[in-house]
């Protein structure tokens, strides 16, 4: 379909919460946007307060359905300008942007996607944790437990747990007992687990435990949403091997090692 509209929509990943985690690109677009539609359930409102133009039209999509959001795109399509559609974290994970982009494709509305700092990156930073530690794990699985949105059976937590990689579980903190039960099938009960609530927000909470203690700790803190569960031996920072990247005896394309191998 020929693109006839003047408006351009930017689907923006606004980072995990701290407005300073916006990318420069996202910031530039938000500052000049004529229309801002933001996912108010998770996006930090301070981003809008701080950076939106005084006369920008602002909409909170938290109470809208897909059709209502798309109607806003239609409403503004004939006007010259920029629509910033702001989602939390990064756009590639659980952001529900694909259905909006498909709708824009059908309508011939132009758009671009600006990636952001996902909450799992902010949570790893809060934990001061590299997720891919030599000797412990070189794989990170990003997943969730089945809720209203069903997870395909082959991706069930108990199957993924079989790999014993580092696993980051989104959208599941309210089901912590079910999560632990499925993970127990494969991970040892003493495997380290961290829960990070509101990573990068001022009221961030970090809970550390093991698979057999984490559920009680989470319940004690009454954390029921906006948190990630991270499991894996890599969280046990003591046992990993040094990297090859900085190994003094290892040569790379940029550096010759001291001992030739
Ligand atoms: N696109 C987002 C994920 C949106 S789905 C991203 O890349 O982060 C919403 C889920 O993300 C929440 O249920 C929670 O599991 C996680 N989440 C979002 N922001 C978070 C934060 N600041 N701290 C911890 N978890 C967060």
Give nearest CA residue, ligand 1 atom 13. 171
249 within a domain of the structure (yes/no): no
Task: Tell me which of 91-100, 128-137, 178-187, 247-256 is least confident.
Answer: 247-256
43, 129, 205, 228: which to mutate for ligand 1, most atoms within 8 A of CB? Answer: 228
Let me know: does 1 contact 30? Beta carbons within 8 Å.
Answer: no
For residues 98 and 125, membership in a common domain is answered with no
For residues 109 and 24, membership in a common domain is answered with yes
For residues 194 and 143, membership in a common domain is answered with yes
192 within a domain of the structure (yes/no): yes
Q: For residues 91 and 93, what is the distance between their CA atoms, to the nearest angstrom?
A: 6
Q: Stretch 195-216: mean pLDDT, rounded?
A: 98
Measured from the Cα of 117, ligand 1's closest atom is 7
Is residue 3's pLDDT more than 70?
no
260 within a domain of the structure (yes/no): no
Is residue 114's pLDDT more than 80?
yes
Last-in-domain residue among 59, 92, 117: 117
Last-in-domain residue among 68, 83, 117: 117
For residues 105 and 129, membership in a common domain is answered with no
- pTM score: 0.93
Q: Stretch 81-99: mean pLDDT, rounded?
A: 96
pLDDT above 70 covers what percent of the chain? 97
Res 240: pLDDT: 86
For residues 201 and 170, membership in a common domain is answered with yes
Last-in-domain residue among 117, 141, 169: 117
94, 114, 201, 223: which to mutate for ligand 1, most atoms within 8 A of CB? Answer: 94
Q: What is the pLDDT of residues 27-52, one digit of tens each?
A: 999 999 999 999 988 999 999 999 99
pLDDT above 90 covers what percent of the chain? 80
Q: For all residues of the chain together, what is the average pLDDT? A: 93
112 within a domain of the structure (yes/no): yes
For residues 50 and 76, membership in a common domain is answered with yes
Residues 6+ apart with CB under 8 A from 216: none
For residues 111 and 127, membership in a common domain is answered with no
For residues 142 and 206, membership in a common domain is answered with yes
Is residue 131's pLDDT more than 80?
yes
255 within a domain of the structure (yes/no): no
User: What distance in angstroms lies between residue 149's CA and the mean position of ligand 1's atoms?
Assistant: 16
88, 113, 204: which to mutate for ligand 1, most atoms within 8 A of CB? Answer: 88
With H, G, I as helix, E, B as strand and everything else as coil, classify residue 149.
coil
247 within a domain of the structure (yes/no): no
What CATH number is attached to the domain comprising 109?
3.40.1010.10
Res 260: pLDDT: 56
Question: How many domains, the chain?
Answer: 2
For residues 9 and 110, membership in a common domain is answered with yes
Q: Report which of 91, 98, 82, 41 is spatially closest to residue 64, judged by C-alpha positions.
A: 41
Res 1: pLDDT: 47
For residues 135 and 163, membership in a common domain is answered with yes
What CATH number is attached to the domain comprising 202?
3.30.950.10
Pairing, β 205-210 against β 140-144:
unpaired
Residues 6+ apart with CB under 8 A from 47: 14, 19, 22, 30, 38, 86
Q: Stretch 122-133: mean pLDDT, rounded?
A: 97
Let me know: does 34 contact 79? Beta carbons within 8 Å.
Answer: yes
Give nearest CA residue, ligand 1 atom 4. 94
User: What distance in angstroms lies between residue 96's CA and the mean position of ligand 1's atoms?
Assistant: 13
Give nearest CA residue, ligand 1 atom 25. 227
254 within a domain of the structure (yes/no): no
Q: Stretch 141-146: mean pLDDT, rounded?
A: 97
Domain that holds residue 127: 120-235
Helices 66-77 & 98-107 angle (0-180, nearest 10): 40
């Amino acid at each position: 379909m020929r693109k006839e509209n003047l408006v351009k929509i930017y689907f923006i990943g606004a980072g995990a919460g701290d407005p300073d985690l916006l990318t420069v690109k996202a910031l530039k677009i938000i500052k000049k946007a004529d229309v801002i539609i933001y996912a108010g359930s998770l996006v930090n409102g301070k981003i809008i307060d701080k950076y939106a133009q005084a006369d920008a039209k602002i909409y909170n999509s938290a109470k809208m359905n897909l059709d209502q959001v798309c109607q806003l795109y239609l409403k503004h399509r004939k006007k010259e300008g920029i629509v910033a559609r702001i989602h939390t974290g990064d756009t590639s994970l659980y952001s529900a942007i694909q259905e909006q982009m498909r709708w824009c494709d059908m309508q011939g509305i132009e758009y671009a996607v600006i990636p952001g700092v996902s909450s799992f990156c902010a949570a790893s930073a809060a934990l001061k944790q590299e997720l891919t530690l030599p000797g412990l794990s070189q794989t990170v699985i990003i997943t969730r437990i089945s809720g209203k949105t069903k997870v395909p059976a082959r991706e069930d937590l108990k199957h993924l747990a079989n790999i014993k990689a580092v696993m980051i579980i989104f959208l599941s903190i309210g089901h912590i007992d079910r999560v632990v039960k499925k993970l127990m099938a494969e991970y040892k009960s003493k495997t380290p687990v961290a829960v990070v609530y509101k990573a990068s927000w001022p009221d961030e909470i970090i809970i550390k435990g093991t698979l057999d203690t984490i559920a009680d700790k989470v319940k004690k803190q009454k954390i029921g949403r906006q948190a990630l569960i991270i499991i894996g031996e890599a969280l046990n920072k003591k046992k990993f091997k040094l990297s090859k990247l900085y190994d003094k005896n290892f040569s790379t394309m940029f550096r010759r090692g001291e001992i030739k191998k």
